[in-house]
Amino acid sequence: MNLIEWATGHVALAEAPVSVHFNELADASEYCSCERALDLAFGFLKRLGEVPGMGRQPNNGQPWPMVYFPIGSGTDSLLSWNEALWREVGRSEEPPSIFLLSRETLIANEWECYHRPINLPTPIEGLTAIFRSYRDKRHIENGWLEFDNGIYVFWSGSAIYSRGA
């Protein structure tokens, strides 16, 4: 299946949150390098913005697309941002993913996390990125110390993670 088929099916069913790894999409078989992964992210977000019923902001009840790049494997503590982490994009065993989220999903989750806006290695007009080191409610309740780390890329101006907020 390709990106548009995947997204259209979930928008029609009003399903959010949902995700798909890049390697599960026919139009994203190559994502090895950071530059290629960011190019795909931009292209995917641009194409998703043209899907009827898809929002560019998480505040209008429509699914909101975001791309996630995992950074390495888990760590035993929060990881703070370092520009060298861009070199880790595409090296994780987990491929990058596209998420369709809702505002409720972003607000309802109970996370322990550090996040901050970061600069894309090559600026792409209209996109924003944040780095996040986090563990979810299940990890916290079970006393698991492992934190996941990743970069999220989405349309600028998000009501949740804008650079000005």
Strand-by-strand arrangement of the 18-21 sheet: 18-21, 97-101, 64-70, 148-155, 127-136, 111-118
Over residues 141-158, the mean pLDDT reads 82
* pLDDT higher than threshold 60 for residue 132: yes
Q: What is the pLDDT of residue 118?
A: 92
> pLDDT, tens digit, for every residue of 14-52?
666 788 888 888 776 555 556 677 777 888 888 887 777
Average confidence score pLDDT of the chain: 76
Around Cβ 131, how many Cβ atoms within 10 Å? 21
Q: What is the pLDDT of residue 5?
A: 85
Name which of 46-55, 63-72, 81-90, 97-106 the model is least confident about. Answer: 97-106
Q: What is the pLDDT of residue 122?
A: 78
Name which of 57-61, 69-73, 95-99, 124-128 the model is least confident about. Answer: 57-61
Q: What is the pLDDT of residue 34?
A: 61
* pLDDT higher than threshold 50 for residue 101: yes
Domain residue extents for the chain:
3-155
